[in-house]
Amino acid sequence: MYVTNQPDFLNFVLRGTTALLPPELLAFTQSIEKKYGRNRSFEITKGPRTLDIDILLYGNEQITTPELIIPHPGIKERAFVLLPLLDIDPELKLPGENEALAEYLKKNCEKQGIYQISPSII
C-alpha cells in the first residue's frame, strides 16, 4: 500500500489461542521474524521485508503501548488484511465498535491491487 515498488507478497490471517500475554506474544512473533532473516534496522518503513507478523486482535482487548497497539491500527484500511480476516469471521467487529469490518472493506479498500489465491497454490 505505502511502498508500491516492491515484489508481490503473500498475506494470511491465523486465528489461535495462546497463554502468552500480549507483550510476550509480541516478543515471540518478533523472534520468529528474526529467525527468518528480518532485520528492522535495514528496512524501509512499511516497505518490503522478509517476514512480517502482526498481532491484529487479542480477544476483545484494546491495548495501546509504545510497543504494541491492539487492534492493529491498519486493519480498517488494508484489503490484504481485511479479506483473509473476514474469511475467518465475516461478521467481525473491532472491540468497542459497532460497525462490521466488512463495511470498511467496501468503503476504504477498493482497487488496492490484491487478489485471493487458492491455498493449494502455496
The question of whether 49 is a catalytic residue gets the answer yes
* Cα separation, 68 vs 61, whole angstroms: 12
40: phi then psi, degrees, rounded to nearest 5: -60, -25
Q: Domain range for residue 55?
A: 22-109
Catalytic residue, chosen from 49, 78, 87, 89, is 49
Q: How far is CA 12 from the centre of its chain?
A: 8
Output the domain CATH number for residue 62.
3.30.70.560
Catalytic residue, chosen from 8, 15, 40, 54, is 54
Any domain includes 55: yes
Any domain includes 35: yes
The question of whether 78 is a catalytic residue gets the answer no
Enter the pTM of the model: 0.79
pLDDT in tens, the chain (122 residues): 555 666 666 677 889 999 999 999 999 999 998 898 877 777 667 666 678 889 999 999 999 999 999 999 988 888 888 888 988 999 999 999 999 988 887 776 665 666 566 666 55
Element (DSSP H or E) covering residue 77: none
Any domain includes 39: yes
* Cα separation, 5 vs 3, whole angstroms: 6
Any domain includes 6: no
Any domain includes 1: no
Any domain includes 78: yes
Q: How many independent structural domains does the chain possess?
A: 1
